[in-house]
């Protein structure tokens, strides 16, 4: 009854209501790994998005004897505001949290903006560092180079500028170069 009474208020006030839930194993004879979600059927029907988070691979340090974090894999199971059934990962590093520089470097490598030559990462012919951990340290010190990599990534995927992501506060809404 909580969702039935408050769904309209949440929609009218244009706010976001986040439920964090823990899934349970279904103990049936299904050959697939199935989960049940506590909270009843209303939560399944009223939710605009259902995102499941899973722990992914470990992130190794430079010494390779210990790990400095892990990747979180998330799966968009239900989405009324965009395309569903998407799967992504992001890094969580101990003491930092979600490491956007690490994520940007991985994304740039995937797009070909940052190249990999053996164990080295390179950008525009210049070596960033040995391995991803050293390259992240270099980019954290050189913010101009990091911003240039981000801009090239956005241009590669077809986004005009950083302003729609809150990266450039000087541009006004509605300004267009075309």
Domains, the chain:
1-47 (no CATH), 49-97 (no CATH), 99-168 (3.30.250.10)
Alpha helices in 25-177 (DSSP H): 41-46, 100-111, 131-141, 143-157
pLDDT at 170 over 50: no
**β-pairing, 120-123 with 97-98?**
unpaired
pLDDT at 62 over 90: no
Classify residue 37 as exposed, middle or buried by CB count within 10 Å of its CB (0-12, 13-18, 19+): middle
Beta bridge partners of 115: 122
170 vs 100, higher pLDDT? 100
Buried b vs exposed e over 49-81: b needs ≥16 C-beta within 10 Å?
A: ebeeeeeeeebeeeeeeeebbbbeeeebeeeee
pTM value > 0.85? no
CA torsion angle 61 95 110 114 (round to 10):
-80
Q: What is the mean pLDDT of residues 121-149?
A: 89
pLDDT band for position 164 (cuts 50, 70, 90)? very low
Q: What is the mean pLDDT of residues 93-110?
A: 90
pLDDT at 168 over 60: no
In tens, the pLDDT along 33-54 reads 788 888 888 888 888 899 999 9
pLDDT at 178 over 90: no
CA geometry: angle 150, 148, 140, nearest 5 deg: 80
């Amino acid at each position: 009854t909580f969702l039935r009474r408050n769904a309209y208020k949440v929609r009218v006030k244009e706010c976001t209501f986040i439920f964090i839930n823990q899934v349970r194993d279904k103990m049936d004879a299904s050959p697939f790994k199935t989960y049940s979600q506590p909270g009843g059927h209303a939560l399944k029907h009223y939710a605009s998005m259902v995102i499941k988070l899973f722990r992914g691979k470990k992130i190794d340090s430079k010494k390779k004897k210990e790990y400095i974090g892990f990747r979180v894999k998330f799966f968009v199971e239900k989405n009324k505001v965009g395309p569903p059934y998407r799967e992504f990962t992001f890094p969580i590093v101990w003491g930092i949290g979600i490491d956007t520089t690490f994520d940007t470097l991985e994304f740039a490598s995937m797009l070909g903006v940052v190249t990999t030559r053996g164990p080295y990462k390179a950008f525009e012919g210049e070596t960033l560092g040995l391995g991803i951990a050293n390259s992240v340290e270099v980019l954290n010190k050189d913010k101009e180079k990091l911003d240039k990599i981000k801009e090239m990534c956005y241009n590669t995927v077809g986004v005009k500028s950083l302003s729609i992501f809150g990266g450039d506060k000087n541009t006004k809404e509605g300004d267009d170069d075309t």
